Amino acid sequence: MRRVLYISLLLLCFIPASLYAQDVKIKQLNFLRGQSVINPVVVDSVLYFSSDMNSDFLVRYINELGKDLYHVYKVPLKNRKPSGSVEPLMPNANKKLNQVAVAFDTKGKAYVTENNVAIDSRRGRVLSVKSYSDLSAVEGVVSVAHNGNSSNAYVAFAPDGSFMVFASDQKGGQGSSDLYYCERKSKGWSKPQNMGSMVNTAGAETTPFIHPSGKIYFASNGHSDSKRLDLYYTYRTPAGFAKPERVDSDINSNADDYGLFISENEEWGYVTSNRNGKDRLYYFTQEFPVFPNATEFEEDNFCYEFTEESAQYYDAEQYDFKWAFSDGGVEMGLEVEHCFADAGDYDIKLSVLDKLSKEEMFNIAEYSLELVHAEQLYIDGPETIKAGREVVFNADASYVTSFEPKYFYWTISNGQKIKGKKVKVRFSKPGTYKVEVGTMNEEDKSQYVATYIMVNVE
């Protein structure tokens, strides 16, 4: 018996860990020292955030607990660091109200999480304001949550505008604060839907951020026993929302971590944390690992040619030969080809039949065959793509036995670098592009496997 097509083997490489392990560096931003600074957003090289700094020299705005109120500010960025004067986002807004976060939709309109009354700084309503080029006047409350009796806060918009996510304590949730989503309709938004028990817990889920890759980042104190806010991400699937994954421990800490912003290429970002005793912003970078010698992805092919040397001694004019396969297939002849649908254990039997009566006379050979998937990262995605259209690449069906893959790193030859098992990519220009995905052994980062495909963008 000989195989016609060979199953490709895992490319298991050994490289210096210091060169290719993902290296996360994180450092506190030292502007507005002594003040709390939370919930960062970056748009056009401007950092937007909320702070309890006092922007009025004559009046101090506090809540009934004597705590300074938060308001939304902005500051220009230079080399991703604050550079220049800090200014209020809305100079004419009611400073007696607490503003704890801002988000921008695809048209540049700002949405501010703001309290109706000057109390609890962790709760608020979502307001709509004019585009960030003219924030001189507040347009009024927008009921994005369709529920005026609940606290609805920290809205986040999908980069393509198709849906939004926000936190709410409305009735019927899993815990003290749940994440909800609304779909964009021809007119307005759909009714909010709870993101479900896979995402929401008996604790609090809050401060969502939707990344261009499709990952939905959020903070939760209910997915672990620490009772501290940790950062997680999920993403949408046909069956709902995926089980959340915890963000790298270098970004998470043993304190409260929330209010995350990550760049499109996922190489840098900002996070809110009180790891040093006060809520502050931290800037982080994470170098993307490199995977030399990636192999081109090959579909599994379980087609084989079967022959039996001893069968040649039987008179072919008197006898027929029947190959019976345990998958139900039957082939006739001395040499046959058979394709199996999938990996598995199969039994093969070769019988001799009388040529005239077709009666099965005796068996001359029996085989057992074990078929396994090629050990590689499987890339599920289109090979031909329309320019400007968002497509999904998925490595969920990957088969690696030498180690347990934890993180998947995608490198696209148009410059995008994305982390995740399932990623969304948009090619702006026609051409031929390389889509590569790699993973490494987290216990021994000198071991890795990587696969690529070529796609044509029209």
Per residue in 140-154, pLDDT (tens digit) is: 444 454 455 677 888
Query: Given a cut of 50, is residue 352 above it in pLDDT?
Result: yes
Task: Flag the least confident range among 2-16, 144-158, 355-369.
Answer: 2-16
Say if strands 178-183 and 193-194 run parallel, antiparallel, or are unpaired. Answer: antiparallel
Structure tokens, 17: 């860990």
Q: What is the pLDDT of residue 401?
A: 85
User: Model confidence over 243-267: pLDDT tens digits?
Assistant: 898 887 789 999 999 999 999 878 8
Alpha carbon distance 94, 242 (integer Å): 40
Give alpha helix (H) positions in 182-331: none
pLDDT in tens, 291-317: 888 888 888 889 999 988 887 778 777
Strands of 30-142, DSSP E = 37-43, 46-51, 71-78, 81-82, 87-88, 99-104, 109-114, 125-131, 138-141
The pLDDT of residue 64: 62
The closest of 5, 15, 8 to 438, measured between CA atoms, is: 15
When pLDDT is averaged across residues 357-381 and rounded to a whole number, the result is 87
- Burial state string for 200-228 with b = 16 or more CB within 10 A and e = fewer than 16: bbebbbbbbbbbbbbbbbbbbbbbeeeeb
The pLDDT assigned to 148 comes to 55
Q: Which residue has the higher pLDDT, 133 or 394?
A: 394
Conformational region of residue 179, where left means phi above 0, alpha means psi within -120 to 50, and beta covers everything else: beta
Give pLDDT, residue 95: 76
pLDDT of residue 37: 96
Task: List phi, psi (to 5°) of 58.
Answer: -100, -25
139 pLDDT tier (thresholds 50, 70, 90): very low
Strand 384-385 and strand 447-457: pairing? Answer: parallel
Nearest to residue 153, comparing CAs of 126, 180, 182? Answer: 126
- Write out the H or E segment, with its range, that includes residue 190: none
Rounded Cα–Cα distance for residues 209 and 183 (Å): 16
Residue at 214: amino acid letter: G
Give residue 83's pLDDT: 93
Residue 1: is its pLDDT beyond 70? no
Nearest to 90 by CA among 104, 66, 71: 71
Task: Give the pair of three-digit tokens for residue 436.
Answer: 């590569």
Instruction: Check: CB of residue 384 under 8 Å from CB of residue 455.
Output: yes
Average pLDDT, the chain: 82
Half-sphere exposure of residue 384: CA atoms within 13 angstroms, side-chain side: 1
CA distance 163 to 453: 30
What pLDDT sits at residue 132? 36
Contacts of 384 (CB under 8 A, 6+ apart): 455, 456, 458
pLDDT at 15 over 60: no
Q: 190-225: per-residue pLDDT in tens?
A: 888 999 999 999 999 999 999 988 889 999 999 988
Q: Which residue has the tokens 């999920």?
A: 234
- CB of 272 within 8 A of CB of 41? no
Structural element, H or E, at residue 253? none
Structure tokens at 74: 């902005």
Residue 130 pLDDT exceeds 70? no
Structural domains of the chain sorted by starting position, each given as residue range(s) with its CATH number in brackets: 24-286 (2.120.10.10), 301-371 (2.60.40.10), 374-457 (2.60.40.10)
The predicted-structure confidence for 23-61, as pLDDT tens digits, reads as follows 688 999 989 988 999 999 999 999 999 999 876 666 667
Place of tokens 């020292």: 33
Contacts of 227 (CB under 8 A, 6+ apart): 203, 221
Strand positions, DSSP E, 301-340:
303-307, 319-325, 330-332, 335-339
pLDDT of res. 387:
86
pLDDT at 268: 93
pLDDT for 171-199, tens place per residue? 889 999 999 999 989 888 888 899 999 99
Q: Whole-angstrom Cα distance, residue 173 to residue 180? A: 9
Residue with tokens 């379980």: 302
Residue 298 to residue 37: CA distance in whole angstroms: 49
More confidently predicted of 135 and 399: 399
Mean pLDDT, residues 226-240: 88
Is a pLDDT exceeding 70 seen at residue 285? yes
Tokens of 10: 């895992």
The mean per-residue pLDDT over the stretch 427-442 comes to: 90
pLDDT of residue 399: 87
